[in-house]
């Protein structure tokens, strides 16, 4: 069954996946397959660009990759400082391309919907990505600033300590749900459009898929940029960079 099943009365059932049990865990097999394919594409593109990289006239793919890398490096330098946390550049780059490809899997023909839906339309994946980022952010903050890292919870005044703690708790949820909500809404809209007569279905479906190209790109950019910003908060940003 697909993420949303059109019932006889035209309703939409949310959160239904083909499932398998493994070592006592229930896995959404469609999300697992789509995630693996998106990850394989990212890794494959990385090896391909490495093999084709040249110091001469670059190919279009190399130009695109270098442009994205340059923008991410500039964001990391402005918010974190590359010398402070150099690993943030490849992390944000990998997240951007993985989420972009995962989002754009919604453009696959409707016949693939059973097992190749965009994995970011499953809240389990977006929460996994968000908690991975937030845990790494806090671990980096502790490694760079020691126990003094916790002082930022009481800034700019200790009276804001409860609010700052709540903000930190909520942060992974907002990061995950923003991505999930936008991509899942797109899959629901395509299911609603599919209720139209076949002879007119192609026009709104094509227009909506073009719109989803932009939405998928924007959400990938937002997730990558917020990742960089969160690392900037945790490490003290350019303050620590300037101290070296």
State mean pLDDT over 25-32: 84
Rounded Cα gap, residues 236 and 80, in angstroms: 7
As beta bridge partners, residue 19 has 28
The label of the residue with tokens 């490495």 reads: 50
Task: Tell me what pLDDT residue 6 has.
Answer: 40
Q: Does residue 126 carry a pLDDT above 90?
A: yes
Give, as one character, the DSSP assignment of residue 25: E
Task: Tell me what pLDDT residue 158 has.
Answer: 82
Q: Report the percent of the chain where pLDDT is more than 90.
A: 33
Rounded Cα gap, residues 5 and 153, in angstroms: 44
Q: Mention every residue, 6+ apart, whose C-beta is less than 8 A from residue 61.
A: 45, 48, 49, 52
Rounded Cα gap, residues 170 and 166, in angstroms: 6
Task: Tell me what pLDDT residue 10 has.
Answer: 42
Each residue of 34-92: pLDDT tens digit? 999 999 999 998 888 888 877 777 777 788 888 898 999 999 988 888 787 889 999 99
As beta bridge partners, residue 144 has none
Nearest CA to 105 out of 44, 37, 49 is that of: 37
Average pLDDT over the chain, rounded to an integer = 82
Q: Report the percent of the chain where pLDDT is more than 70.
A: 88
Q: Does residue 144 carry a pLDDT above 80?
A: yes
Confidence of residue 219 (pLDDT cuts 50, 70, 90): very high
Helix axes 88-104, 29-52, angle to 10 degrees: 120
Rounded Cα gap, residues 22 and 4, in angstroms: 24
Task: Tell me what pLDDT residue 238 has.
Answer: 46
Say which residue, 128 or 158, is predicted with more confidence. Answer: 128
State mean pLDDT over 17-40: 85
pTM: 0.83
Q: Does residue 243 carry a pLDDT above 60?
A: no
Give, as one character, the DSSP assignment of residue 39: H
Helix (H) or strand (E) holding 5: strand 4-6
C-beta neighbour count of 200 within 10 angstroms? 10
Task: Tell me what pLDDT residue 4 has.
Answer: 39
Task: Tell me what pLDDT residue 88 has.
Answer: 92
Confidence of residue 153 (pLDDT cuts 50, 70, 90): confident
Nearest CA to 183 out of 156, 222, 132 is that of: 222
Rounded Cα gap, residues 95 and 103, in angstroms: 12
Q: Does residue 244 carry a pLDDT above 80?
A: no
Q: Mention every residue, 6+ apart, whose C-beta is less than 8 A from residue 112.
A: none
Q: CA-CA distances (angstroms) from residue 42 to 3, 36, 76?
A: 24, 10, 21
**Do 224 and 72 touch, CB atoms closer than 8 A?**
yes
Rounded Cα gap, residues 169 and 163, in angstroms: 10
Radius of gyration of the chain (CA): 21
Q: Mention every residue, 6+ apart, whose C-beta is less than 8 A from residue 33.
A: 115, 116
State mean pLDDT over 136-150: 87
Q: Does residue 9 carry a pLDDT above 60?
A: no
């Amino acid at each position: 069954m697909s993420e949303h099943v059109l019932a006889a009365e035209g309703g939409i059932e949310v959160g239904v996946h083909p499932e398998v049990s493994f070592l006592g865990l229930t896995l959404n097999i469609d999300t697992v397959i789509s995630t693996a394919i998106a990850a394989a594409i990212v890794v494959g593109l990385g090896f391909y660009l490495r093999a084709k990289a040249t110091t001469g006239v670059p190919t279009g793919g190399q130009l695109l990759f270098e442009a994205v890398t340059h923008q991410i490096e500039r964001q990391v330098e402005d918010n974190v400082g590359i010398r402070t946390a150099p690993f943030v550049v490849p992390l944000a780059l990998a997240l951007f391309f993985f989420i972009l490809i995962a989002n754009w899997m919604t453009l696959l023909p409707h016949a693939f919907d059973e097992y190749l839906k965009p994995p970011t339309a499953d809240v389990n994946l977006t929460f996994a990505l968000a908690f991975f980022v937030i845990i790494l952010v806090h671990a980096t903050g502790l490694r760079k600033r020691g126990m003094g890292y916790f002082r930022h919870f009481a800034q700019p005044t200790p009276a804001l300590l409860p609010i700052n703690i709540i903000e930190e708790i909520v942060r992974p949820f907002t990061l995950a749900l923003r991505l999930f909500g936008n991509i899942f809404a797109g899959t629901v809209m395509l299911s609603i459009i599919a209720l139209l007569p076949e002879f007119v279905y192609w026009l709104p479906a094509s227009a909506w898929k073009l719109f989803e190209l932009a939405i998928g790109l924007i959400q990938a950019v937002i997730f990558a940029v917020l990742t960089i910003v969160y690392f900037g908060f945790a490490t003290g940003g350019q303050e620590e960079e300037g101290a070296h």
